[in-house]
Chain A
Amino acid sequence: DAKTTQPTSMDCAEGRAANLPCNHSTISGNEYVYWYRQIHSQGPQYIIHGLKNNETNEMASLIITEDRKSSTLILPHATLRDTAVYYCIVRGGATNKLIFGTGTLLAVQP
C-alpha cells in the first residue's frame, strides 16, 4: 500500500473551513484514499473515502487531484468538536488492511 504524508498539526478558527492535505505520490490505480478521525480517548471514526472522483457526505468533502498524488479533506464549517487527529490512508483494492500513519492533529480554536 502507498505511503501517505500529512502535516503533524494544524489550527483552524471555529466556523471556518478546515482543509487538511495529504500526499500519496506512490498511489497506484486501484488504491482508495480513506480519511478517519480520532477524538481523544475514542476509537477512530470513518469520515469519507474515494478513488478518483471528488466525494462529499454529511461530514466532509474529499478532493483528489487529477494525478491522484494528493488529496484534501475539507470540513466546511469547523466546530470545537472537530478537534481530533485526522488520518489519511491509502488502501489497495485487494487488501482488507488499513495502515495508519501518525495523522494530523487539527485544533479548532474558538
Chain B
Amino acid sequence: DVKVTQSSRYLVKRTGEKVFLECVQDMDHENMFWYRQDPGLGLRLIYFSYDVKMKEKGDIPEGYSVSREKKERFSLILESASTNQTSMYLCASAPTNFNYGYTFGSGTRLTVV
C-alpha cells in the first residue's frame, strides 16, 4: 500500500524554537505539498515542490521554509515557532500525471506554547 508518512503525530514546542516537520513518501512521486488546517479555514497550502531542490510558495508561506534534498523527503521548517503556528499540518504527494490526485499523510498536530 502506498504511503505518505509524517514523522510525528503530536508535537509540542516552545515559542521561538526551530521546528522540523518531516514527510516521507514511498511512491516515487515528483510533487510534494505542505498544508496547514485550522477550524473554519479549511486546508491552506504553505509550500510545494515539484522536483528535488525545487520549491514554490503556496498561499501562506510566511514564517515557514522547506527543504527537499531527496525525492522522497519534504521537510517543513518553522524557523522560530510562534503560538499562531499551532495547527494541524498535512503533507501530501502526487505524481506528475496527477491521475489520482494527492495522497495525504495522517497529519502532525503541532502545539506551540
A-side residues, CB < 8 A to B, are 34, 36, 41-46, 49, 87, 91, 96-103
Contacts and interface: CB of A to CB of B under 8 A. Distances in A.
A44 B41 contact: no
Given A96-B98, A97-B45, A102-B41, A46 B58 contact: no
A91 B101 CA distance: 10
B74 interface: no
Chain A binding surface SS class: loop
B16 to A, nearest CB: 28
B52 to A, nearest CB: 15
A36 B106 contact: no
B92 interface: yes
Contact of B43 (A41, A44, A49, A96): A44
A46 B100 contact: yes
Given A45-B104, A46-B101, 9 more contacts: A36-B102, A42-B106, A44-B90, A44-B104, A46-B100, A91-B98, A96-B31, A100-B43, A102-B42
Contacts of A100: 35, 42-44
Contact of A46 (B43, B96, B102, B105): B102
Given A96-B31, A96-B50, A97-B58, A44 B102 contact: yes
A26 B78 CA distance: 36
Most buried by A among B48, B102, B104: B102
B103 interface: yes
A2 to B, nearest CB: 16
30 contacts: A34-B101, A36-B101, A42-B106, A42-B107, A43-B4, A43-B90, A43-B104, A43-B105, A44-B90, A44-B102, A44-B104, A45-B104, A46-B101, A46-B102, A46-B103, A49-B101, A91-B98, A91-B101, A96-B50, A96-B94, A96-B96, A97-B33, A97-B58, A98-B45, A98-B101, A99-B59, A100-B42, A100-B43, A102-B42, A103-B42
Interface string B57-79: 01100000000000000000000
Contacts of B31: 96
